Structure 1
């Protein structure tokens, strides 16, 4: 498994433009919320009148992954995910829940692609599907950095990201030339 530094540097390599990062602070949470809303529509009966939604199972698995990557960032993500789970479960009670989930999901992805237009780079998941899970992790890291936390991590990933970006652009120029 790649380290938090490797994952964040790869993600940041196509998220260097501040406008792109700003759109991600809107789009990624909306994608997560809409996904959790859709997953909240699937319940597993555990017996004795107890059930658990697929959203809760997914959140638990993803949070374990985040805790393995970086404990401090995972705590922040836990604080983010809990209200997302609660609000998506509440909206899941609506007869229009699936339509709400699909609509928010589409709008959120449109916002993401606007950001990548500013960046002039394809999304990180285009080369590594695991980067879909790193988006929220990256944004939590960016929040920590904005508040002066985890500065050593910030100083480690930025030069690696710039180096990766240069390599991506060199490869793209080489592909265009051939």
Structure 2
């Protein structure tokens, strides 16, 4: 498994433009919430007690798996992601109980991707997941890292990944120029 630094620097290499990052602060949470809503709509419970509040459905199993992955990458960032995911999980579960939830999920999903694509127009670079599907999981991880950096936390991580990202971006642009020649 690639390190947190390697994954974050790869993601950041195509997310250096502040406008792109801002669009991702809207798009990624919308996409995540819509995916949780869709997962809550799958009528499978892996574990349930008599109390319906104590059950693990597809969304719950996904949450546990993703949080374990984030913990294995970086514990402190995983704590922030846990604090983000809990309300996402809860609110998407509530909306899943309403009629038309699938249409809400699909609409929010599309709106989230519109924000993402607008951001990449600013960046003039393709999304990170195009070359590595695992980068889809790194998007929320990257945003949490950016929140920490804005708060003055995890400075050593920022100081490590930013130069790596800039170097990777230079390589990408050199490859793009060479391909056009």
Question: Superposition RMSD on alpha carbons, in Å?
Answer: 1.0
For these two proteins, the number of residue pairs brought into alignment is 177
> Structure 1 residue 85: deviation in Å?
0.2
Looking at structure 2, the residues matched to 47 and 73 of structure 1 have their Cα atoms a distance apart, in angstroms, of: 30
Is 1:83 aligned to 2:87, yes or no?
Answer: yes
Is 1:147 aligned to 2:162, yes or no?
Answer: no
TM (norm. structure 1) is 0.97
Is 1:70 aligned to 2:70, yes or no?
Answer: no
> Structure 1 residue 48: deviation in Å?
4.8
Unaligned runs of 5+ in 1: none
Looking at structure 1, the residues matched to 36 and 9 of structure 2 have their Cα atoms a distance apart, in angstroms, of: 27
Looking at structure 1, the residues matched to 89 and 103 of structure 2 have their Cα atoms a distance apart, in angstroms, of: 18
Alignment check: 8 A CA contact 1:39 1:54 kept: yes
Alignment map for 1:1-178 (pairs within 5 Å): 1-42=1-42, 43-44=44-45, 46=47, 48-49=49-50, 51-177=55-181
The SS at the match of 2:88 is: helix
> Structure 1 residue 52: deviation in Å?
2.2
Looking at structure 1, the residues matched to 143 and 46 of structure 2 have their Cα atoms a distance apart, in angstroms, of: 34
Q: Which deviations, in whole Å up to 9, do the C-alpha atoms of 1:83-120 show, x marking residues without a partner?
A: 00000000000111100000000110011000000000
Looking at structure 1, the residues matched to 48 and 76 of structure 2 have their Cα atoms a distance apart, in angstroms, of: 35
The SS at the match of 1:103 is: helix
Alignment check: 8 A CA contact 1:41 1:53 kept: no
The SS at the match of 2:126 is: coil
- In the TM superposition, structure 1's runs of 4+ consecutive aligned residues that sit over 2 Å from their partners are 45-52
Alignment check: 8 A CA contact 1:34 1:105 kept: yes
